[in-house]
Amino acid sequence: MHRRPFLAAAGALLAAPALAQQHGGHAPALRPLPPSREPFHNLFQGGAPHHITPDQAAQRVTDSPAPPGPMGRWAPRADMPIPRSEMAWATAWNGRMHVVGGYGEGQVNRAYHTVYDPASDRWYDAAPLPRGANHVAVVAHEGVVYAMGGFIEQNRRCDDKSFAYDVAQDRWRELAPLPRPRGAAAAVVLDGRIHLIGGATDPAPERASIAWHEAYDPRSDRWELRRPIPAARDHVGAVTHGGVIHVAGGRFNTFQYNTGLHHVYLPARDSWVEKAPIPTPRSGHGMVVHKGRFYCMGGEEGIIERGQTIQAKVFGQMESYDPATDSWQRHAPMPTPRHAVAAVSIGDWVFVAGGGAVLGGAVQSAIHEAWTLG
């Protein structure tokens, strides 16, 4: 996979090599990347190709307790250029999906930045994140992709870095650092501000979930404290809709303690209220707004004691929430259950790329599947 030179200049504009041609109102013409030849890689074998074992396949779970809704259908799309996971999470701007950082090629602190174009069903290489990390919170707003926090080691040792990527220029610049370092947080846009919610923080040996809620103002390059979420957790799903923020699922410190809690942030009151819980408690799932409903897919759950896996589940459930009725329903499950996925809604489709194929970070996937009601 082609990767541009790593660029690091604290406080300065961080840019990829100049690309001359504009491409359909998107960024300058980006270098196309072929799909991966291997669907899975093993992190602990230096990113070597991996074949899912029967025991690993048995981790897959697709049953949902939610009442049935329209099943919809899944279809394959161009696989990612390399198997990846723990990007946390993806975002979309101008009809393209941006996937930043994560695990890949036997490393956990990659600076990858790949862009998927549904119109051509192709992946492209964009300017790399100025420093490699996993579990980076990302969100797009007014032509800018924001990337905040993350872990430098495997799901631990968080930092306070914050960057902004100008889609039209294919360039990154550094922003005011987070007030407190964290990884695996959720980022959403509300009223022109980037809200960073939950996550986990140091000390690394403890890696505890947090309830922090901070809002970044792009106009002033400053952070403000907001009311914390009522239950500290990380690896949540989060979306903005109807002037409020929804946060569903997540974990208390580890995937052994998943939750179905669903809270809504009311900005006028700077407070939270509880809504109907997600039917399948999970963490590391995708969550998107699609045609007025909130769709959650994928995730993981398990117990690991003294390095031994006692229980392992990788979820394929696709469940959606109707904010008008405060109710959930189920849909056709993912053909390939995964966690730590890149998930976005573009047009009539929900795109779900990459992710962990087994419990934890051992196996990355390049699999890319899309779901539609049609």
Q: Is residue 18 part of a domain?
A: no
Q: Is residue 308 part of a domain?
A: yes
**Residue of 299, 88, 262 lying closest to 186 (CA atoms):** 88
Contact of 226 with 219, CB cutoff 8 Å: no
Q: Is residue 184 part of a domain?
A: yes
Q: Is residue 328 part of a domain?
A: yes
**Residue of 31, 20, 30, 25 lying closest to 94 (CA atoms):** 25
Question: SS3 of 230, please?
Answer: coil
pLDDT > 90 fraction of the chain, expressed in percent and rounded = 88
DSSP H or E run through 239: strand 237-241
Q: What is the pLDDT of residues 43-100, one digit of tens each?
A: 999 999 999 999 999 999 999 999 999 999 999 999 999 999 998 789 999 999 999 9
Which domain, by its residues, includes 329? 30-372
Strand-pairing partners, residue 182, are: none
CA distance 121 to 76: 10
Q: Please give the structure tokens belonging to residue 44.
A: 């602990």
CA distance 266 to 17: 43
Q: Please give the structure tokens belonging to residue 364.
A: 């990355």
Q: Is residue 4 part of a domain?
A: no
Alpha-helix runs per DSSP H in the chain: 54-57
Q: What is the pLDDT of residues 218-252, one digit of tens each?
A: 999 999 999 999 999 999 999 999 999 999 999 99
Which CATH number covers residue 40? 2.120.10.80
pLDDT at 254 over 80: yes
Q: Is residue 96 part of a domain?
A: yes
CA distance 370 to 351: 4
Q: Is residue 243 part of a domain?
A: yes
Number of structural domains the chain divides into: 1
Q: What is the pLDDT of residues 301-360, one digit of tens each?
A: 999 988 888 999 999 999 999 999 999 999 999 999 999 999 999 999 999 999 999 999
> Model-level pTM greater than 0.75?
yes
Averaged confidence pLDDT in the chain: 93
Rounded to 5, what percent of the chain is helix, strand, coil? 0, 50, 50
Q: Is residue 40 part of a domain?
A: yes
CA distance 251 to 51: 28
